């Protein structure tokens, strides 16, 4: 078994998969109860404290996403912030799209057809005025488009290209919208 870097913690996703995590690898944008965006550096510091707590104080190698989120919420409340979650306002504000399904449907045109259908899908989903747009199945999508059986440098490049493309499309299609984007 490969030893995990000392600054990493394994986060267990709801599907049961484990993802190595450090505060540098994920970003969180929170809105407090007054509606203002919380300083990203403050969130990063709080997340680092939570990671340190689980890793060093409790000696744990893995933790569920829910446990991590609850601990982070507790820390933020302790410093006087009251974060609100978009999902708590109603499940109709979360719109989910499966990237692997889009990739399977675009195989005739390869990446070109995929990116075109991805932009059309994003436009279509934005019509519902969601608070959070979630695109899931990125890893399977990339491997499908490249015909890869194993993750490679080429896969990582396409992965990053898809995420950047989604960010650019969201900024272009809904520049004033306060819509969150989650790609997993």
Which of 50, 69, 84 is at the close of a domain? Answer: 84
Let me know if residue 56 belongs to a domain: yes
Q: Which domain holds residue 67?
A: 9-84
Residues 95 and 75 both lie in one domain: no
Question: What's the pTM?
Answer: 0.53
Ranges 19-23, 88-92, 159-163: which has the least confidence: 88-92
CA distances for 62 relative to 52, 56, 145, angstroms? 12, 12, 32
Question: What's the pLDDT at 48?
Answer: 80
Q: Residue range 13-27: average pLDDT?
A: 66
Question: What's the pLDDT at 133?
Answer: 83
Choose from 4-13, 61-70, 91-100, 158-167 the range with maximum mean pLDDT: 158-167
pLDDT single digits (tens) 117-160: 899 999 888 887 787 888 888 999 999 898 889 999 999 999 99
Q: Residue range 151-173: average pLDDT?
A: 90
Using the predicted structure, report yes or no on whether residue 56 has a pLDDT greater than 70: yes
Q: Residue range 36-56: average pLDDT?
A: 74
Residues 110 and 163 both lie in one domain: yes
Q: Looking at the 3D structure of the chain, how many domains does it have?
A: 2
Q: Residue range 94-104: average pLDDT?
A: 84
And the tokens for 27?
Answer: 């970003």
Let me know if residue 137 belongs to a domain: yes
Residues 55 and 106 both lie in one domain: no
């Amino acid at each position: 078994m490969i030893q995990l870097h000392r600054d990493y913690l394994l986060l267990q996703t709801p599907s049961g998969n484990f993802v190595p995590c450090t505060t540098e690898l994920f970003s969180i944008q929170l809105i407090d109860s007054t509606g203002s965006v919380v300083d990203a550096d403050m969130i990063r510091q709080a997340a680092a404290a939570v990671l340190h707590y689980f890793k060093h104080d409790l000696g744990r190698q893995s933790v569920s996403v829910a446990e991590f989120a609850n601990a982070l919420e507790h820390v933020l409340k302790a410093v006087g912030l009251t974060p609100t979650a978009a999902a708590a306002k109603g499940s109709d504000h979360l719109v989910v799209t499966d990237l692997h399904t889009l990739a399977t449907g675009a195989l005739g045109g390869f990446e070109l057809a995929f990116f075109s259908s991805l932009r059309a899908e994003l436009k279509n989903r934005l019509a519902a005025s969601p608070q959070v747009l979630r695109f899931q199945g990125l890893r399977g999508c990339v491997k499908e488009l490249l015909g890869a059986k194993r993750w490679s440098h080429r896969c990582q490049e396409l992965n990053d290209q898809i995420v950047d493309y989604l960010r650019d499309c969201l900024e272009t299609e809904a520049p004033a919208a306060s819509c969150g984007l989650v790609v997993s």
